[in-house]
Amino acid sequence: MDARMRLIIQIAALISVIQAWVMCWKYALERAVRRAGRPLIRYGPLFPREQERIQNLNYIYNCNDVEALWMLRMKRAPFARLVETFRSRGLLQDSINTSVEEQVAMFLHVVGHNQRFRVIHNTFRRSMETISRYFKQVLYAVGELRGEMIRRPSGQTPPKIHGSPRWYPYFKDCIGAIDGTHVTARVPRSQSAAYRGRKHYTSQNVLAAVDFDLKFTYVLAGWEGSAHDANILTDNMSRPDGINIPDGKFYLEDAGYACRPGILPPFRKTRYHLNEFSGRNYPRTAQELFNLRHSSLRVTVGRAFGALKNRFKILDQKPFHPYSTQVKLVLACCILHNWILQRGFDEHVPDEEDVEPDDVVSSGHGVEAFDNDVWKNKRLEWAEAMWLNRGQCRI
């Protein structure tokens, strides 16, 4: 290639570069003209918005116990102590713009009222990303309290039993009650059949043990709603990390469970629920008297579940979170439930007469074949002893 041809190629390349530059400059100029004619996006004044947010937070922090109970689902004292615990242990930290109090308050609004992040955004004037981030952090922080808040029973006779001839000495080795409850769940449509049980809606079946102070001592969440309570317990007791029942001790159960070491159900096909003995419908047999006193003790687990769902609406309504998060939320709510009860009962805890029976005891679902003869005989002996001594105390 001679020098003349190389010069022509170089000139052509230079012209192409100039044309490309001119086109880019023209496009940028036209874009600037279009933007100049477009109306500007008007943002709200940032300072008044920040002032409104601070006023809202001050109202939450400085309200009385009645208002705190409605907004935060707990009174002021347990809320302040919870925040102090998170801060002192380094589980949560104040950021430049968001205090630990606000982080916990946003979390409690979500679980207490089952509110979407968009609603929390309107209340706290925080971005969706900020709310989501702190929700996860607080959920983790609450979970870190599990070891000290979900404690196994001590094994000693509970004061409620020891101080009453209705139950002592027959139930002196009873350490609580076990039952399952259905928590509304949101799962993919392809899995909905497995999670739809007798409640006719998708749910997870939660197995829990409760002591006679209404505190949870064991919680197992995540089972499909179609799983039977007795099958969940049987599987759990066979696992090394499952519920551990000390030798000689037992939990109260409903008639859907087999009578065996560590598990004491009532007599089947016999009156059981408290409302069946109301008025002058006194027990007429030893088995009915045993069932009445058994039911009056086991109602504690129903009251605990009732308080849990009354307080945390995210467990009683369709949640808006992934299923793995839904399982963690059950445990977190049980931890917070125990935390609150350390400082006394409140309006969210139902009375015994307000607990609606959720199980059917007229049938044992075919579990009679798995009953343990030794424990069946123990139950019968206690029932006969109660009947002989029924005049020593109120029924």
pLDDT in single tens digits along all 395 residues of the chain? 677 777 777 888 888 888 888 888 888 877 776 766 656 555 555 566 677 777 777 777 778 888 888 999 999 999 999 999 999 999 999 988 889 999 999 999 999 999 889 898 888 888 899 999 999 999 999 999 999 999 999 888 999 999 889 999 999 999 999 999 999 999 998 888 888 877 678 999 999 999 999 999 999 998 988 888 888 988 888 888 888 898 999 999 988 888 999 999 999 888 877 777 776 778 889 999 999 999 999 999 999 999 999 999 999 888 889 999 999 999 999 999 999 999 888 888 888 777 765 543 334 455 555 788 999 999 999 999 999 988 777 77
pLDDT of residue 340: 96
Residue 79 CA: distances (Å) to CA of 2, 60, 63, 68, 105: 88, 11, 12, 9, 9
Residue 386 · residue 287 · CB < 8 Å: no
d(CA 344, CA 65): 13
The residues near 304 (Cβ < 8 Å, ≥ 6 apart) are 208, 210, 214, 215, 216, 337
pLDDT of residue 323: 93
CA angle 84, 86, 90 (to 5 degrees): 115
CA nearest neighbour of 350 among 316, 313, 314, 300: 300
d(CA 12, CA 81): 78
pLDDT of residue 79: 94
pLDDT of residue 362: 38
**Strand order in 203-210's β-sheet?**
216-224, 203-210, 174-184, 250-252, 263-264
Give percent helix, percent strand, percent coil of the chain, each to the nearest 5.
55, 10, 35
Two structure tokens written together for 347: 């309006």
How is 230-278 classified by DSSP, letter by letter? HHHHHHHHTSTTS----TT-EEE--TTS--BTTEE---TTS--SGGGG-
**pTM listed for this prediction:** 0.82
